């Protein structure tokens, strides 16, 4: 396909606001100006959310299951569904933001499954309400629906989320002995960040959320029985709670004593205060910088303040915030290109989009992803993945190189056919320039190009036979996708 | 936490480039640096270990008053005598292997380790224990700083991290520690076979030798690729290791098996990192019932360590090995309403190995909630530290690793009473 000057910008945009670009995505977004392309990405509600319909259909990446595909009840299936969405969605920014929030509100499947069993664990993380007899909306589906929604609403939904109430033990937070886990993390990791709250704030927060527990309504007979949030007034601690930061717009720092019946308002007041605290805006802005703009340089303080004001002025709506991030000059600065270490799922999905998916099952990416250090629905702890250079322990790098091998072995025939169809297989030079164009990497130095070119001559003279094209196409793409320069987005 | 890269930029790519030289040369280097075969195994108990369930003050009435459901009955503990403050202590009943090691005089328990104003955050706490710097926890790891102090060039297998990603404690300025979770899976695959596969591997190795000079982040990834490719053959020998004991089939047990294999095959590694998690026991901690959460944590810890200890003993490697444990914090003294414990303060560190002088170091807390009780803090909610954790590190650096703790820790934390090694 032709790649004009605008193409490189569109590819940069889609590597960050999506998971790389399929050829049809480059064509679609390539017809727009930058501003229009960003607008199309953030207004994804205008594009049908129909990607799940294509699971199992010819022409798309495959899934592998024993028996029925049940992503709402089987976590391995759920992982495959999410990878499938990342590859084939026409709403790339929605999937990207869902991943951002998954890392932000990082909740791990094992604890939920250990508490309620494997099927229920998958349900509370990955079920869509439309496919659940009890209308359970799993945590990731909730984050996906609210991906560019209102952060305050998201905090409230997370505080009531079944998986979160298990993960951070809110379900056992009772009056006699408040449970600090959720109260600590909502301040430390979900909103303001370390240094902006005190230990007594944690204890007060734990008391605020006493009684935010789980009930089990529904019937076993029709499958609607489920654990869901309940405000348990009898377990709410009703005395006043004082914080070190403002809770109310008049600067008041004390949540007043309330009757047990009205006590749920305590938590709502605290969530409103946390969402509206400028430190929350800054905390999110810095995280968005590292996610979208650059890991190579620290966040520009003026940029952080600007994003924070956008956040506060728009009453915590994330769409204007992310739009501003993607339109900012810092995002488009040439030093931001390729200035982020690819997360394992970003790497895997982009490789599949670049190399091809016909005949490839996303199931075969799951073990490699685990070896690279990222299992969807299983972040290492509530702080999410460490990201950055920590992805690149040697074993993880080897796993990336070996995934490139798995993928290119699977696509060997397709790659050779593509070279032939493009009439690029007559010479070694032709094959090399074809793939350098198809598989974009951070700039390759001359010595690396020379090594790659030399590779094509290593096992004998160029003949252009099908056998040679298959060997050298898969080998070349293996080396490119496994190269250090490909490990950036 | 992202300082590694910046430090790395400062440290210079030149140093980094030298670190990764040709594999043949490095094997010689490993042999030369293997003059001292001593190694250190850093063990991280992730989540904040409730040391009051691990080392139980079973004669302290307040222990049972404050832990009515999760207190471990005095009759169940494995008694290990009294400390210098005359507090009688017992190990968790599932720690039968550690009890054997204690009785052999090869397990030291260093009580009430921590620091002033201990962080109760998992992440800040882990960073502080990793960097040994409560004031600036975003710097390099203390083990990383030790590795940086070894004269260049350094063998790329000088460290071995058995987890998937680099822990902060191993973050170094110019020494990349490989992550090798499973030696058997540590190989380079190819979409082709025979000569074509060899050509790809040769090319990948050549490419990785051209570390870019002006792009430190890309160079970092080059370093990983090169360290992986350059050590495949040596690591493959570890996969052939046949242990003399049976390791439990847990992640922890298998990691220790790999560590023992690396030691037995003499590949030159000086520092290993292993971890076992699940210690964030906010609810249903259940240390008493078989298959209770904390009971299982102790089972994993005990069964892995005793298999490792006996294996090394059988292989004649125990005298060269020191295992040192840490966790980001201890837990609150009183149980919460969920039958668990929240984030607390000081905790117990373990050191074990063939040259350890075992026993009880430091004093246990008195758990009486009296405002004047000097062994408690946070309005008597938590255990107050007695021994700065950096003093334990200092002892290990000076007396085991043979380096200078004052320079590695940027300060003098030596404490002469810590004679465990």
pLDDT digits (tens, 9 = 90+) for A224-281: 999 999 999 999 999 999 999 999 999 999 999 999 999 999 999 999 999 999 999 9
Whether residue B13 is predicted with pLDDT greater than 80 in this model: the reply is: no
A:B CB pairs within 8 Å: 194
Query: What CA–CA distance (Å, rounded) separates B256 from B266?
Result: 15
Neighbours of B359 (CB within 10 A): 17
With contacts defined as CB-CB under 8 Å, which chain A residues touch B220?
389, 392
Going by C-beta distance under 8 Å and a sequence separation of 6 or more, which residues neighbour residue A250?
A: none
Whole-number average pLDDT of chain A: 95
Contact yes or no for A180 and B282 at CB 8 A: yes
Tell me the longest C-alpha to C-alpha distance in chain B: 76
Q: Do A48 and A88 meet the contact criterion of CB atoms below 8 Å apart?
A: no
Write out pLDDT tens, residues A120-166: 999 999 999 999 999 999 999 999 999 999 999 999 999 999 999 99
Region B348-360: mean pLDDT is 98
Q: What is the pLDDT of residue B230?
A: 86
Q: What is the pLDDT of residue B36?
A: 63
Write out pLDDT tens, residues B264-316: 999 889 999 999 999 999 999 999 999 899 999 999 999 999 999 999 999 99
- Which of B164, B171, B183 should we substitute to test contact with A (largest number of A Cβ atoms within 10 Å)? B164
With contacts defined as CB-CB under 8 Å, which chain B residues touch A177?
335-338
Q: Which residue among B196, B202, B337 sits closest to A172, beta carbon to beta carbon?
A: B337
User: Using 50, 70 and 90 to split pLDDT, how confident is the model at B166?
Assistant: confident
Q: What is the pLDDT of residue B268?
A: 87
CA distance A98 to chain B (A): 23
Write out pLDDT tens, residues A93-113: 999 999 999 999 999 998 899
B337 and A CB contact within 8 Å: yes
Q: What is the pLDDT of residue B151?
A: 83
B220 and A CB contact within 8 Å: yes
CA dihedral B210, B216, B221, B226 (to 10 degrees): 40
% residues pLDDT > 70 (chain B): 91
Name which of A156, A278, B257, B143 is nearest A142 in CA terms. A156
Query: What CA–CA distance (Å, rounded) separates A233 from A213?
Result: 10
CA distance A189 to chain B (A): 10
Write out pLDDT tens, residues B57-78: 999 999 999 999 999 999 999 9
% residues pLDDT > 70 (chain A): 99
Strand stretches in A13-103, DSSP E: none
Whether residue A3 is predicted with pLDDT greater than 70 in this model: the reply is: no
Write out pLDDT tens, residues B170-214: 988 777 788 888 888 788 999 999 999 999 999 999 999 988 888
User: Using 50, 70 and 90 to split pLDDT, how confident is the model at B35?
Assistant: very low
More confident residue, B273 or B231: B273
Whether residue B12 is predicted with pLDDT greater than 60 in this model: the reply is: no
Whether residue B3 is predicted with pLDDT greater than 80 in this model: the reply is: no
Residues pairing with B326 in the sheet: B44
Query: What CA–CA distance (Å, rounded) separates A287 from A258?
Result: 36
Region A165-180: mean pLDDT is 93
Q: What is the pLDDT of residue B171?
A: 86
CA distance A46 to chain B (A): 38
B164 and A CB contact within 8 Å: yes
Instruction: List the end-to-end C-alpha distance of chain B, in Å, as a whole number.
Output: 31
More confident residue, A4 or B336: B336
Write out pLDDT tens, residues A21-59: 998 999 999 999 999 999 999 999 999 999 999 999 999
User: Using 50, 70 and 90 to split pLDDT, how confident is the model at B5?
Assistant: very low
Two tokens, residue A344: 């394992």
Q: What is the pLDDT of residue B213?
A: 84
Neighbours of A129 (CB within 10 A): 14
Q: What is the pLDDT of residue B11?
A: 31
Whether residue B7 is predicted with pLDDT greater than 50 in this model: the reply is: no
Most confident of A313-327, A381-395, B175-189: A313-327
Give the least confident one: A65-74, A78-87, A436-445, B131-140.
B131-140
Whether residue B1 is predicted with pLDDT greater than 60 in this model: the reply is: no
Q: Do B418 and B361 meet the contact criterion of CB atoms below 8 Å apart?
A: yes
% residues pLDDT > 90 (chain B): 75
Going by C-beta distance under 8 Å and a sequence separation of 6 or more, which residues neighbour residue A400?
A: A344, A347, A368, A372, A482, A487
Whether residue A380 is predicted with pLDDT greater than 90 in this model: the reply is: no
Q: Do A106 and A381 meet the contact criterion of CB atoms below 8 Å apart?
A: yes
With contacts defined as CB-CB under 8 Å, which chain B residues touch A391?
165
User: Using 50, 70 and 90 to split pLDDT, how confident is the model at B15?
Assistant: very low
Question: Which pairing describes strands B107-114 and B359-361: parallel, antiparallel, or unpaired?
Answer: parallel
CA distance A245 to chain B (A): 19
With contacts defined as CB-CB under 8 Å, which chain A residues touch B190?
405, 409, 475, 478
Write out pLDDT tens, residues A406-455: 999 999 999 999 999 999 999 999 999 999 999 999 999 999 999 999 99
Q: Which of residues 252-281 of B touch A (CB under 8 A)?
A: 280
More confident residue, A268 or A2: A268
Q: What is the pLDDT of residue A429?
A: 97
Write out pLDDT tens, residues B367-378: 999 999 999 999
Tokens 């400028």 belong to residue: A278
Name which of B235, B248, B330, B252 is nearest B43 in CA terms. B252
Contact yes or no for A394 and B222 at CB 8 A: no
With contacts defined as CB-CB under 8 Å, which chain B residues touch A339?
217
Q: Which residue among A168, A188, A459 sits closest to B121, beta carbon to beta carbon?
A: A188
Q: What is the pLDDT of residue B305?
A: 98
Q: Which residue among B120, B191, B207 sits closest to A408, beta carbon to beta carbon?
A: B191
Query: What CA–CA distance (Å, rounded) separates A170 from A189?
Result: 16
Q: Do B302 and B253 meet the contact criterion of CB atoms below 8 Å apart?
A: no
Residues pairing with B377 in the sheet: B382
Name which of A418, A365, A471, A368 is nearest B190 in CA terms. A471
CA distance A338 to chain B (A): 10
Q: Which residue among A372, A373, A471 sits closest to B192, beta carbon to beta carbon?
A: A471
Q: Is the dihedral of CA A39, A40, A45, A51 positive or negative?
A: negative
């Amino acid at each position: 396909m032709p790649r004009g000057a605008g193409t490189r910008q569109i590819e940069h945009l889609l590597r960050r606001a999506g998971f790389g670009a399929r050829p049809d995505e480059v064509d679609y977004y390539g017809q727009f100006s930058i501003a229009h392309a960003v607008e199309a990405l953030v207004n994804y509600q205008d594009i049908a959310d129909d990607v799940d319909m294509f699971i199992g259909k010819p022409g798309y990446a495959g899934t592998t299951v024993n028996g029925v595909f049940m992503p709402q009840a089987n976590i391995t299936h759920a992982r495959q569904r999410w990878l499938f969405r990342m590859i084939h969605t026409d709403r790339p920014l929605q999937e990207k933001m869902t991943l951002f929030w998954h890392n932000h509100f990082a909740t791990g499947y094992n604890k939920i499954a250990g508490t309620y069993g494997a099927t229920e664990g998958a349900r509370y993380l990955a079920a869509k309400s439309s496919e659940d007899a009890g209308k359970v909306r799993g945590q990731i589906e909730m984050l996906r629906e609210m991906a560019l929604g209102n952060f305050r609403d998201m905090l409230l939904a997370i505080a009531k989320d079944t998986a979160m109430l298990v993960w951070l033990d809110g379900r056992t937070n009772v009056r006699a002995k408040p449970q600090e886990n959720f109260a600590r993390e909502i301040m430390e990791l979900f909103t303001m960040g370390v240094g902006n709250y005190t230990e007594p704030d944690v204890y007060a927060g734990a008391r605020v959320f006493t009684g935010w527990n789980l009930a089990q309504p529904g019937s076993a007979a029709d499958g609607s029985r489920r654990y869901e949030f309940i405000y348990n007034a009898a377990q709410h601690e009703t005395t006043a709670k004082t914080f070190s930061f403002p809770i109310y717009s008049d600067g008041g720092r004390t949540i007043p004593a309330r009757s047990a019946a009205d006590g749920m308002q305590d938590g709502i007041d605290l969530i409103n205060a946390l969402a509206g605290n400028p430190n929350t805006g800054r905390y999110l802005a810095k995280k968005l910088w590292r996610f979208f703009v650059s890991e190579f340089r620290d966040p520009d303080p003026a940029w952080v303040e600007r994003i924070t004001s956008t956040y506060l002025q728009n009453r915590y709506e994330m769409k204007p915030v992310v739009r501003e991030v993607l339109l900012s000059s810092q995002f488009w600065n040439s030093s931001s290109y390729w200035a982020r270490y690819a997360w394992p799922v970003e790497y895997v999905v982009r490789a599949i989009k670049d190399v091809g998916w016909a005949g490839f099952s996303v199931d075969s990416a799951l073990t490699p992803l685990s070896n690279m250090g990222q299992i969807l629905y299983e972040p290492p702890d509530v702080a999410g993945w460490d990201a950055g250079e920590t992805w690149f322990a040697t074993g993880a790098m080897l796993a990336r190189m070996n995934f490139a091998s798995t993928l290119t072995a699977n696509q060997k025939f397709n790659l050779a056919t593509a070279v032939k169809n493009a009439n690029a297989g007559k010479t070694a030079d032709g094959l090399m320039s074809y793939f350098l164009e198809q598989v974009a990497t951070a700039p390759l130095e001359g010595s690396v190009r020379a090594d790659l070119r030399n590779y094509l001559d290593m096992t004998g003279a160029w003949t252009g036979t099908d056998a040679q094209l298959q060997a050298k196409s898969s080998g070349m793409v293996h080396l490119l996708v496994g190269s250090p320069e490909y490990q950036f987005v | 936490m992202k300082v590694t890269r910046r430090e790395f930029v400062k440290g210079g790519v030149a140093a980094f480039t030298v670190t990764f030289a040709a594999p043949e040369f490095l094997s010689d280097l490993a042999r030369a640096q293997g003059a001292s075969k001593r190694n250190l195994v850093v063990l991280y108990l992730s989540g904040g270990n409730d040391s009051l369930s691990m080392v139980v003050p079973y004669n302290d009435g307040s222990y049972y008053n404050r832990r009515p459901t999760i207190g471990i009955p005095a009759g169940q503990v494995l008694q290990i005598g009294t400390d210098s403050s005359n507090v009688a202590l017992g190990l968790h009943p599932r720690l039968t292997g550690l009890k054997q090691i204690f009785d052999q005089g090869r397990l030291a328990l260093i009580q009430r380790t921590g620091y002033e104003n201990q962080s109760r955050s998992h992440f800040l706490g882990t960073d502080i224990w990793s960097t040994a710097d409560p004031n600036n926890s975003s710097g390099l790891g203390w083990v990383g700083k030790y590795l940086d102090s070894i004269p260049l060039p350094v063998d790329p297998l000088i460290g071995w991290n058995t987890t998937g990603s680099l822990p902060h404690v191993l973050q170094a300025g110019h020494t990349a520690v490989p992550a090798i979770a499973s030696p058997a899976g540590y190989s380079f695959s190819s979409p082709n076979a025979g000569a074509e596969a060899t050509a790809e591997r040769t090319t990948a190795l050549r490419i990785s030798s051209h570390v870019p000079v002006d792009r430190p982040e890309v160079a970092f990834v080059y370093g990983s690729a090169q360290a992986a490719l350059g050590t495949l053959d040596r690591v493959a020998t570890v996969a052939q290791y046949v242990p003399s004991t049976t390791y439990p089939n847990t992640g922890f047990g298998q990691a220790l098996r790999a560590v023992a294999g690396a030691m037995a095959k003499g590949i030159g590694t000086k520092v290993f990192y292993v971890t076992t998690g699940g210690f964030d026991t906010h609810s249903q901690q259940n240390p008493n019932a078989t298959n209770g959460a904390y009971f299982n944590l102790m089972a994993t810890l005990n069964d892995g360590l005793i298999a490792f200890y006996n294996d090394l003993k059988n292989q004649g490697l125990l005298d060269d090995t020191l295992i040192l444990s840490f966790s980001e914090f201890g837990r609150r003294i009183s149980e919460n309403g969920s039958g668990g414990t929240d984030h607390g303060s000081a905790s117990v560190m373990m050191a074990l190995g063939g040259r350890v002088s075992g026993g009880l170091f430091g004093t246990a807390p008195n758990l009486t909630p009296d405002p004047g009780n000097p062994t408690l803090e946070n309005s008597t909610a938590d255990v107050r530290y007695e021994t700065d954790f950096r003093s334990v590190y200092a002892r290990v650096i000076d007396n085991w690793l043979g380096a200078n703790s004052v320079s590695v820790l940027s300060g003098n934390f030596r404490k002469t009473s810590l004679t465990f090694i």
